[in-house]
Amino acid sequence: MRSRFDEQLAMLNNELTQMGAMCEEAIAIASKALSMGDVKLTDKVLSLDGEINQMERTIETLCLKLLLQQQPVARDLRQISAALKMITDMERIGTQAADIAEIITFLDGRTGEECEYIRFMAEATMQMVTESIDAFVKQDIVLAKTVVDHDDIVDHLFMQVKTALIKMIAENPTDGGYALDLLMIAKYFERIGDHAVNIAEWVVFSVTGTHKGKLG
């Protein structure tokens, strides 16, 4: 019975890894679409968002089966309940990548390269998402805490984006709409970073039984 349970836990880890990879891909493609001004790429982001939503339902079903059909011990219960929380954050990451893609369609072919800090935010948040999922699979609280610490980098980059865009508007008021679109994109990247932190904090909970929320 335990061996079957362990097999299903391994399946859960695989599904979470796959969902996390989809989130990373959605962020990467949205970032590429922004840097190239390529609206056609945004369709792929929207498609991935749909796949991520389906993965959320699949993993939720698997978690419920593990809870109802097996007899998990305390650590197993923490791991399964953490997974249920994590998929909610990953679903939000997919949605926010799609939100970024939607805004890109309003930029009339302009790119985000006029504010390079946004690209840095995209790279930082992708790394946070990757490491938060790796931390869960490896049950690595050191890596999870590294993700939490990296959130300060994303927050600092967001402040740099705001400063750069304020300067842009001051120098060319006609770019106000474009600057606001870039600010919204940066805000979505910041939120993606926050969700990666949430995932990392659920990793710590799954291992230690202690959870300290960031978003409240």
Structural contact between residues 80 and 67, judged by C-beta atoms closer than 8 angstroms: yes
Question: Domain coordinates of the chain in residue numbers?
Answer: 2-208
Confidence class for position 216, pLDDT limits 50, 70, 90: very low
Residue 136 has pLDDT above 90, yes or no: no
The backbone torsions φ and ψ at residue 140, rounded to the nearest 5 degrees and listed phi first, read -105, 100
Interval 159-170: pLDDT, tens? 999 999 999 999
Whole-angstrom CA distances from 206 to 46, 71, 154, 215 are: 31, 17, 25, 18
| Mean per-residue pLDDT, 7-30 | 92
User: What is the model's pTM?
Assistant: 0.91
Task: Map tokens 């770019």 to a residue.
Answer: 175
Structural contact between residues 125 and 27, judged by C-beta atoms closer than 8 angstroms: yes
Residue 213 has pLDDT above 70, yes or no: no
Per-residue model confidence (pLDDT) at position 133 = 87
Per-residue model confidence (pLDDT) at position 73 = 80
Topology adopted by domain 2-208: Methane Monooxygenase Hydroxylase; Chain G, domain 1 (1.20.58)
Whole-angstrom CA distances from 57 to 17, 19, 62, 64, 101 are: 15, 11, 9, 11, 23
